Amino acid sequence: MITLIAGGTGSVKLARGLSKATEDLVIVSNIADNIWLHGLYVCPDIDTVVYGLSGLLDKTRGWGVINDSFVFMEQMKRLGQDYWFRIGDKDLALHVVRTHFLNEGKSLSWVTEWIRKKLSISTVILPASNDHFETRIETPVGEMHIQEYWVKNHAQLNILSIRYQGIEKAVPSPQALHAIRNSDMIIIAPGNPISSIGPITSIPSIRKELESKKKKVIAVSPIIGNQALSGPASKYLLAMGIESSPVGIASHYSNIASNLVISESDKDYENRIQNYGVNVYKTNIIMENEQDEIRLSDYILKTFNNA
Ligand code: FO1
């Protein structure tokens, strides 16, 4: 079994490539960007993987359904409701169905598995936890949900601190913990280390598991030079006092991953990364199309299957 720890738009490209390259893959998805809106439970990171693997993802936006319309949102605006988080009409159906099942007492894992089967996705997708906990960002104007920070305020406010509210009481979903425990290879996707990967790897029993098998854990850097491949990763890393570079990624992951895949152009960082006890692998980590996704996936599988 191979586990991909994933979350957000930065992870879905590798999820797609790996799912084509191997049938042994399971994906453990972030849930700390989940949010209740208009009485619906929205799970953006799970849905990005669901849409990515079913061919429904709007690849330009990196979220939501391709060719979706926003009539529901326009009507909500007319009714004086919040409309900063744009739920597409087709996307809406997924949130309605999921919320219906959750209200019936089903777990998020159960619902995600139901959705996977309905959309004929072969790769198993596991929420990191069935419990709700959320990433909160403290700013000079107050603390807010990560979606409020990123989408409503366009990541413009200064960050004073970031925390995962409720994680202390959260337990991993049994399937996610089982996958990590029984995998021969665990890949940390090039997602945002703080908002996408951190909420998964900070669940105490998942962290303990990763620490004990860190030789089998391979992280792919979400940073080239000092720039994030996508999204606000640099801003969040710097806010947490972590260098925005592959060296910062190595220091941040060194307790849970012995291997880091970086861009060939970052070879000058190699010695500093190795000082953290992390092995360095250099390749082209940019994924601009399907070919790139398969190329990087094959590289990882070949390199570490033979390790
Ligand atoms: N991102 C935006 O920048 N603006 C939006 O209006 C927005 C709506 C949205 C709806 C459903 C969904 O699954 C994702 C959505 N996202 C939107 C993306 C989301 O904020 C982020 O990609 C993830 O939360 C990052 O982990």
The per-residue DSSP string of 127-179 comes to ESBSS--EEEEEETTEEEEHHIIIIISTT-SPPSEEEEETGGG--B-HHHHHH
Residue 65 beta carbon below 6 angstroms from any ligand 1 atom = no
User: Is the shortest distance between the CB of 88 and ligand 1 below 6 Å?
Assistant: no
CA end-to-end span of the chain? 16
Ligand 1: residue whose CA is nearest its atom 3: 151
Q: Is the CB of 40 under 6 A from ligand 1?
A: no
301 strand-pairing partners: none
Domain extent listing, the chain: 1-33+122-307
Q: Are strands 25-29 and 223-224 parallel, antiparallel or unpaired?
A: unpaired
Ligand 1 pocket, residue 148 CB under 6 Å? no
Angstrom distances, CA of residue 3 to CA of 26, 128, 195: 5, 12, 19
Q: Walk along the chain (307 residues) and give the pLDDT tens digit of each residue.
A: 999 999 988 899 999 999 999 999 999 999 999 999 999 999 999 999 999 999 999 999 999 999 999 999 999 999 999 999 999 999 999 999 999 999 999 999 999 999 999 999 999 999 999 999 999 999 999 999 999 999 999 999 999 999 999 999 999 999 999 999 999 999 999 999 999 999 999 999 999 999 999 999 999 999 999 999 989 999 999 999 999 999 999 999 999 999 999 999 999 999 999 999 999 999 999 999 999 999 999 999 999 986 6
236 lines ligand 1 (CB under 6 A): no
Q: Is 87 in the pocket of ligand 1 (CB under 6 A)?
A: yes
SS3 19: helix
**Residue 207, exposed/middle/buried by CB under 10 A (0-12, 13-18, 19+)?**
middle
Tokens 């990515």 belong to residue: 52
CA of 8, closest atom in ligand 1: 26
**Tokens describing residue 135:** 């990433």
- The structure tokens listed for 65 are 């359904």
Whole-model pTM?
A: 0.97
199 close to ligand 1 (CB < 6 Angstrom): no
**Backbone torsions φ then ψ of 108, nearest 5 degrees:** -60, -35
The first and second tokens of residue 2, run together, are 């191979």
What's the rounded Cα separation, in Å, for the pair 205 and 93? 34
For the Cβ of 134 lying below 6 angstroms from any atom of ligand 1, the answer is no
Q: For 1-33+122-307, CATH number?
A: 3.40.50.10680
Please count the other Cβ atoms lying within 10 Å of the Cβ belonging to residue 273. 23
CA of 63 relative to ligand 1 center, distance in Å: 6
Task: List the one residue out of 262, 271, 197, 205 whose CA is nearest residue 229.
Answer: 262
Please give the number of the atom of ligand 1 that sits closest to the Cα of 43: 13
Contact residues for 17 (Cβ-Cβ < 8 A; gap 6+)? 287, 290, 292, 293, 294, 295, 296, 297, 298
Asked if 65 and 91 count as a contact pair (C-beta separation under 8 A), the reply is yes
pLDDT digits (tens, 9 = 90+) for 16-39: 999 999 999 999 999 999 999 999
**Owner of token pair 């191979």:** 2
Phi-psi region of 173 (alpha: psi -120 to 50; beta: other; left: phi over 0): beta
